[in-house]
Amino acid sequence: MTAPQGTYDAIIVGAGPIGAEMARVLTARKKRVLILEAGRASGLSYDDWLSYVDTYRSALVKEPNSPYPPNPNAPSTYAQDIANVHGRVPVISGYQVERGPLSFASTYLRSLGGTSLHWLGTCPRFVPNDFRLLSTYGVGRDWPIGYDELQPWYCEAELALGVAANKEDQTHFGIWFPDGYDYPMERIPPSWSDGVYAKGAEGLTVEFGGVSYPVAVSSLAQARNSIPRKGYRPIGAVGVEHVGERCEGNAACIPICPVQAKYSANKTIARLDPRYATLVTQAVASRLLIGENGRITGVEYKRYADEGSNQYQTLTAQGTLVVVAAHAVEGAKLLLASGAANSSDQVGRNLMDHPFFLTWALNPVPVGAFRGPGQTSEIASFRDGPFRSDFAAFRVDLGNWGWDIATFPPNSNVQELVAGGVIGRSLRRQLADEIPRQLRVGYVLEQLPEARNRVTIDREFMDPIGCHRPVIHYDVSDYTRAGMVAAMKLSDALFRNMGIPPKDIRTHFTPSSPGYMTYRTEDGRTVPLSFYGSGHHMGTHRMGVSRTDSVVDRYQRSWDHENLYVVGCGSFPTVGSANPTLTAVALALMAADDMLRRLA
């Protein structure tokens, strides 16, 4: 690697999907771009990728970051570091410092490609009311833009990520598509178990607040290679393009697709035009330098040669425009450490995730658990509706991998049976009898922006090369907890309609369940709940119409620094119930377009 020379049209901090797609757009228009990536240069050859696959295979706990070895100089949180807080704060065992009262249960990855190396690839659009929650339902905030304005950028983002879907399956709650448009690839075939759910949901309605909501199963939009439509060529693995041109059903999208059939940003980075793009890895942006007129005059970064040593050089890069695309947590940290972009005092605040609630049961007959991508169908019926004045919207993921993170099959089953003295043919038969019948329903819940949920920094908590570790304050409000109670009501109705006897509905929560908490209902009952992280860190540098209460404008330009863009899921004012990457990429493409206008 050589040190970058001279001045760039743009410096992009972060080689995840947002930074990569912006770099693609800018370099295609011959703008000179420097990309600074904190982590290692992962996934730029297929042999390198296969070494991660082997690490995954030999990992005892196959959590989202398990294929990617820890990098002390650009640390990431590993799921096994996340523990329930139980009133003992701070929790400092992992990379992120938990200040409570609840643990922020999500992880992300600091490596080339970012968290897109381990994401699932789910790509629904936001519904129009997600952009106007306050004016429609009296809660949360409105966005500075609406669905109609973002719509063309959604089309671009779906092409960039390679989304497989049929548009007629996706027209939920006012989502519309332009005439003649369709997704680049046909929808991923629904799994056999999706069919079981669809049959079970036939004719089902659930009532909330006197309104009856019909329940419908529909196909899920996914950035995963499928049968291409007119002229589109699926993008396969880096270095061996004919591998991964279709999803091969490895059933390991999280944490790693062995054939790279799902979108990962390393695929975009590998295709950047080297005449215009300069990539520097193992370069942790540590400070934005601010000039007298408020312009960002440089990006200071720490370059380490070796993951095994905390030796580094401090360097500075200069660019006309600066883009922080470093992830909602890391980006907020960088702004806070630089004293940048924070005249509103909103940087780091309004941290949101989609708390992920699970229910699980045994179907009377096998559904073929552990086959196909993590999810191929959803229930979108509760993504919008008048209930949103009272409780959180949710999108329902119908899992294809048995009870998955609820109980960790099939390992837990084998261990329990063998410990109970079951071996041989009875072991084989009992595994065959139960696991293929496992059903797991996940509920991706909306969370409202709250100033108290935040990322901060503290000189007490630093990493080996002297950068801040994130310090997180996090709670889940009653709005979202009430949404979980509603999800439970839907779950009971759905499982009953599927013909599952009560003894085979196995959902249960104890104080040792991940994200254990309770909810007190209006009639005075205390309901135990539990949630997981969705890995959707959002809200920490929100966009708005006013510099007094937002960090960036509609183009994700900082109100405080005219040449600084702060992009990604951190810009979301509210989060609906759609997985955020597609929307973040759409916003990023809109921002890149604005940059091109300014660089012209």
Q: Which residues bind other proteins (CB under 8 A)?
A: 47, 50, 53-54, 56-60, 62, 189-192, 226-228, 236, 240-243, 245-252, 256, 258-259, 366-373, 376, 400-401, 410-411, 413-415, 418-419, 421, 423-429, 431-432, 435-436
Residue closest to 369 by CA, chosen among 406, 394, 396: 406
Smallest distance, Å, CB 553 to other proteins?
A: 43
Smallest distance from the beta carbon of 366 to other proteins, in angstroms?
Answer: 4
What would the DSSP string read from start to end of 116-168? GGT---B-PPPPGGGGBHHHHHSSS-B-SS-HHHHHHHHHHHHHHHT-B--GG
Residue 190 vs 470, nearer CB to other proteins: 190
Nearer to other proteins, 48 or 463 (CB): 48
Nearest CA to 264 out of 237, 245, 243, 286 is that of 237
Helix (H) or strand (E) segment spanning residue 362: strand 356-362
- Nearer Cβ to other proteins, position 429 or 508? 429
State the nearest-atom distance from the C-beta of 194 to other proteins, in Å: 8
Nearer to other proteins, 248 or 345 (CB): 248
Q: Identify which of residues 425 and 459 has a Cβ nearer to other proteins in the complex.
A: 425
Joined together, the tokens standing for residue 52 give 């991660």
Nearest to other proteins of 384, 434 (CB atom)? 434
Give the whole-angstrom CA distance, residue 398 versus residue 56: 24
Q: Which two tokens mark 343?
A: 């005249």
With H, G, I as helix, E, B as strand and everything else as coil, classify residue 314: strand
Between the alpha carbon of residue 247 and those of residues 160, 167, 189, 252, the distances in Å are 17, 20, 10, 11
Q: How far is the CB of 272 from other proteins (least distance, A)?
A: 22
Taking the least distance from each CB to other proteins, the nearer of 103 and 400 is: 400
Task: Report in angstroms how near the CB of residue 138 gets to other proteins at its nearest.
Answer: 42
Q: Beta partners for 317?
A: 299
Nearest distance from residue 270's CB to other proteins, in Å?
A: 17
Burial category of 249 from C-beta neighbours within 10 Å (exposed 0-12, middle 13-18, buried 19 and up):
middle
Closest to other proteins by CB, 250 vs 477, is 250
- Name every residue whose Cβ is closer than 8 Å to that of residue 291 and which is 6 or more positions away in sequence: 297
Residue 80: CB minimum distance to other proteins, A: 13
Residue number, 140 or 374, with CB nearest to other proteins: 374
431 phi and psi angles, rounded to 5 deg: -65, -45
Query: How near is the Cβ of 381 to other proteins at its closest, in Å?
Result: 23
Long-range contacts of 80-86 (CB under 8 A, 24+ apart): 82/107, 82/514, 82/533, 84/511, 84/512, 84/514, 84/515, 84/516, 86/511
Structure tokens at 11: 């410096």
Residue 182 C-beta: closest distance to other proteins, Å:
14
Across 256-292, b (16+ Cβ under 10 Å) vs e yields bbbbbbbbbbbbbbbebeeebbbbbbbbbbbbbbbee
State the nearest-atom distance from the C-beta of 28 to other proteins, in Å: 24
Q: Is 338 helix (H, G, I), strand (E, B) or coil?
A: helix
Q: What is the C-alpha separation between 421 and 442, in angstroms, rounded?
A: 33
Which lies closer to other proteins via its Cβ, residue 47 or residue 292?
47
Q: How far is the CB of 74 from other proteins (least distance, A)?
A: 25
Name the minimum Å distance from CB 22 to other proteins: 30
| Cβ-based nearer residue to other proteins, 315 or 427 | 427
CA dihedral 226, 227, 230, 231 (to 10 degrees): 70
What interhelical angle do 147-161 and 17-28 show, nearest 10?
Answer: 90
Nearest approach, Cβ of 368 to other proteins (angstroms)?
3
Contact predicate 529/516, CB 8 Å:
yes
For other proteins, the closer CB: 255 or 573: 255
Q: Coil, strand, or helix at residue 320?
A: strand
Q: Which is nearer to other proteins, 144 or 373 (CB)?
A: 373
CA 543-283-565 angle, to 5 degrees, is 20
Q: How far apart are CA 39 and CA 543, in angstroms?
A: 27
Closer residue to other proteins (CB): 65 or 338: 65
Q: Minimum CB separation from other proteins for residue 428, in Å?
A: 4
